[in-house]
Chains A and B, each alone.
Chain A
Amino acid sequence: SAVISQKPSRDICQRGTSLTIQCQVDSQVTMMFWYRQQPGQSLTLIATANQGSEATYESGFVIDKFPISRPNLTFSTLTVSNMSPEDSSIYLCSVAPALEAFFGQGTRLTVV
């Protein structure tokens, strides 16, 4: 199993600003996943972050809007840039060391 510490737990931000979400894992993992869950919707994969290489973004998500860092095998950050109210969502990081995906506690972001 894996334990993921994600922060902040929640934030209320002004439109046009940026927020960086951090995830720390208690073990080394090759891939970390970042998801968005809009109100009433399921989880949508934003990108997969590998240590030492550029993140792989899913269709509809771009690096300028959601830059990701992965400086080592236990840590990653996701930045939500130039926020608008449409970015209000829950953001989740996840790891899957052995086919079973584990999640951080989630960040509830509200953009006003």
Chain B
Amino acid sequence: EDKVVQSPLSLVVHEGDTVTLNCSYEVTNFRSLLWYKQEKKAPTFLFMLTSSGIEKKSGRLSSILDKKELFSILNITATQTGDSAVYLCAVGSTSGTYKYIFGTGTRLKVLA
């Protein structure tokens, strides 16, 4: 059975800290791995990764994929209170119909 596991489940840090969120997966017919930030209802897109070893970067956020070891990390440097959210990892699979399998999410709280 396909599965995506994120760790830690929750994290509390202080402003200015650096955090690393983990996502491991066991998914047949892997196509892509995506990271989302969810603050209220709708997840907002952060990154899409398809190739190993190529870092994607946007401001203080960066992410990388290891397709051999089947995991990805999301780094956030110099955290701010506005980074407080649930971070979701999703893996796209073409097993049967094309679909996304979501991880459990990591709830990040950044304290001022």
* Chain A interfacial positions (CB closer than 8 Å to B): 31, 33, 35, 41-45, 48, 56, 90, 92, 94, 96, 99-108
Given A42-B102, A43-B88, A92-B41, 6 new contacts (CB under 8 A):
A42-B104, A42-B105, A43-B43, A45-B100, A96-B98, A100-B48
Number of A-B contacts (CB under 8 A): 58
B92 CB to closest chain A CB (Å) equals 6
Query: Given A99-B31, A100-B34: A45 and B41 within 8 A (CB)?
Result: no
Q: Is the interface of A mostly helix, strand, loop or mixed?
A: strand
* Chain B interfacial positions (CB closer than 8 Å to A): 31-32, 34, 40-43, 45, 48, 50, 88, 90, 92, 96-105
For B45, B96, B100, B103, which residue has the most chain A Cβ atoms within 10 angstroms? Answer: B100
B92 touches A99 (CB 8 A): yes
B88 touches A42 (CB 8 A): yes
B105 touches A96 (CB 8 A): no
For B34, B42, B101, B102, which residue has the most chain A Cβ atoms within 10 angstroms? Answer: B42
CA distance A56 to B43 in the complex (A): 23
